[in-house]
Chains A and B, each alone.
Chain A
Amino acid sequence: MVTRLDYKIPGGKLIRVEVEFEGGVVLRAKVAGDFFAHPESDFEAAEAELSRVPVDRLAEAALGAFSRPGLVLYGASASDIAETLRRAVDEAQVS
């Protein structure tokens, strides 16, 4: 199943997440938005690490992945991203 959620950070940027999961495991998590990440390739590496993570550990895994040393985020923090992913998964599991 696929769940999507947009989260506008108060006074900041917009994060749009899309999570595809099956059997409690994330197949693919996409984190899009108008934020900045340097270097961009590290952001994409962090995003790729979220595949195969148990859905109920996605937010925690995202917080770790996007907090990696060397990755600098502007306009959205690792915890903003983790929180958006957590809400997206929560909404999918409630509905």
Chain B
Amino acid sequence: MRLRFLDTGPGKGAFNMGLDEALLEAVAEGRSGPVLRLYTWDPAAITIGYFQSAAAEVDLEAAREAGVDVLRRVTGGGAVFHAAEITYSLVVPEGHALAPADILESYSRICGGLVEGLSLLGVEASFAPINDIVAGGKKISGNAQTRKRGCLLQHGTVLLDVDPERMFSLLKVPSEKLKGKLIQDVKARVSGLKGLLGREVGYAEAADALGRGFARAFGRLEAGPGRAAGTGAQFPEPVAALPAELLPSVPSPEELERARLLAAEKYSTSLWTMRR
């Protein structure tokens, strides 16, 4: 398996979402092969799921005052506070080994790359359907997928650290009385790499591990179900699978232009953000 590989580092929320969509278009229109991207968020941002109501989920005034952008994703799922994290996106045509017809199966295959990357960092993690990855009994990664124009777009995060107090100063809570309990719940149920490893893991270290993790896991996938599932019968002597090839690349000028246009005319607009 070969994947075009982009590491675009920190970006504004609207640009980040714009580039994910621009890459979806590029793959759909045959201008790009399957692509894997790593990135992060500067400034911090909140994204909400495609079906969520922005006003119901986010304290929009608090977010504005804090300089935190609020964006609607094209993917479903819940609200995410993007601060200390690494994010990936993957775009492949439907029918690709990472995009089987069964959506849960494709989550599982793609999340296998994150699980492998986490293991390279010394974290034993596992996929928790529908769309999470857990380690040490706590959620460390959330993922969301959509399929459009014959392509799959999945993006997701791996938390480097969590700050529930800051998160709940920006997300709506049913009542102030409940806020303390919600903060405690998140502390009990969610962890970043820092909490699991007892040390800081920066973006660069996480990006290196995730890149290698995706390559290894996707390579194994291609080696065939006989080996991956370890049935033994079909492949009595399993051979170590070659990792997938990640071909370092940058967004093309056309992709960047399209990403900026989508950022300005879609993701930064209240028409899109407030549409539900």
Contacts and interface: CB of A to CB of B under 8 A. Distances in A.
Chains A and B are bound partners: yes
Interface of A: 13, 16, 30-40, 43, 72, 74-75
B147 interface: yes
A36 B79 CA distance: 13
Contact of A32 (B52, B75, B144, B146): B52
B133 to A, nearest CB: 16
Interface in B70-91: 74-79
B197 interface: no
B104 interface: yes
B130 A75 contact: yes
Contacts of A31: 51
Contacts of A74: 76, 103-104, 130-131
Interface string B85-112: 0000000000000000001100000000
Contacts of B145: 36
A32 B56 contact: yes
B104 A40 contact: no
B147 A39 contact: yes
Nearest to A30: B276
Contacts of B146: 38, 40
A43 B130 CA distance: 19
B53 interface: yes
A48 to B, nearest CB: 13
Contacts of A16: 53, 56
Contacts of A34: 49, 51-52, 76-79
Given A38-B147, A39-B147, A32 B76 contact: no
B147 A32 contact: no
A31 B51 CA distance: 8
Given A16-B56, A32-B276, A37 B51 contact: yes
Contacts of B78: 13, 34
B147 A36 contact: no
B51 A43 contact: yes
Interface in B142-193: 144-148
Interface string B51-76: 11100100000000000000000111
A10 B276 CA distance: 24
A90 to B, nearest CB: 21
Contacts of B50: 40
Contacts of A35: 49, 51, 76-77
Nearest to A12: B130
B183 to A, nearest CB: 18
A34 B72 CA distance: 12
A13 B52 CA distance: 11
Contacts of A40: 50-51, 74, 76, 146
Nearest to A43: B51
B103 A32 contact: no
B276 A36 contact: no
A38 B146 CA distance: 7
A32 B55 CA distance: 11
Contacts of B130: 36, 74-75
